Amino acid sequence: MVVRAARLACACALLSCAGPAPRAAEVPRVPLAGPGGQSLDARALAAGAPLTVLTFFSPDCDCLVAHEARLRALAGEYGPRGVRFFMIDSEVGGSLERDAIEAARRGYRSPILLDRGARLADALGARFAAFTVVVDSTGRVRYRGGIDDDRMHLRDDARPYLRDALDDLLGGREPRVAETEALGCALQKW
């Protein structure tokens, strides 16, 4: 009991002192689980399209809920141009069942992919729901951060970070802003 408490205290202290999470420049080769338990490799997922948008998911996050309509609009607009959109569930409470229910309830066009052990989230430095990365077909991360600069109350004049990044990348340019703040809820990863 004492040893367990000491370990927990050490873990807390280490966590408290830890610096910013590591952020891979490329999507790692980690497994993701899709509907029906289908296993997908994250890198291979990115290879299937010129650009892939990965948005981290949490079911109770109002910040993400607020942005769902904007994400759907982006998917509708950029999907025909070859951009694919996926939600990633990296939370410790995530399951295929939960993700299937949530995807259906929210009307997502793409499945929520399960990131067991939060390996993808940890590699990409994802700590908040609504954190989004744009990956090119080689697996290189081209944009990471928020969907826009709104948190929960959407404004018409919000800065559309993700849209701008997609426009730039599809136009053959580097994103005008390659990294922003994601204003979402904490992902419960452990």
Partner 1 sequence: MPSPRSTFRSAAALVLALAAWGCPSRAWAQACCAGGSAVTPARLEMHEDALVGAQLRASSALGSYDTGGRFVASPPGDTEVDFEEDIFGAMRFLRRGQAALLVPLVETRRRTPQDGAHLGGGLGDVNLSARYDFVAAGESRYLPGVALLVGATLPTGTPADSATAPLAVDATGIGAWQLQAGLALEQTYGRWLVNATGIVAKRTARFGETLGTQGTFLVAGAYSFEGGGALALSGSYAFEGDATTGSGADVPASSKRVTAVTVSGLWPLADAWRVLGALSLDPPIDSLGSNQPTAGALSFTMIRSWW
Residue numbers at the binding site for partner 1 (CB under 8 A): 8, 12-13, 15-16, 20, 58-63, 65, 92-93, 127-128, 150-153, 181, 183, 185-186, 188, 190
Nearer to partner 1, 107 or 190 (CB): 190
Residue nearer to partner 1 on the CB measure, 52 or 132: 132
Q: How far is the CB of 172 from partner 1 (least distance, A)?
A: 32
Question: Least CB distance from residue 45 to partner 1, whole Å?
Answer: 26
- Give CA–CA dist 72/63, Å, rounded: 15
Residue in this structure with the two tokens 């390659």, named with its chain if needed: 178
Sheet holding 39-41, edge to edge: 39-41, 31-33, 112-114, 83-89, 51-56, 132-136, 141-145
Give the DSSP letter of residue 137.
T
The token pair that represents 20 in the structure block = 């910013």
CB 40, min distance to partner 1, A: 25
Question: Which is closer to partner 1, CB of 62 or CB of 167?
Answer: 62
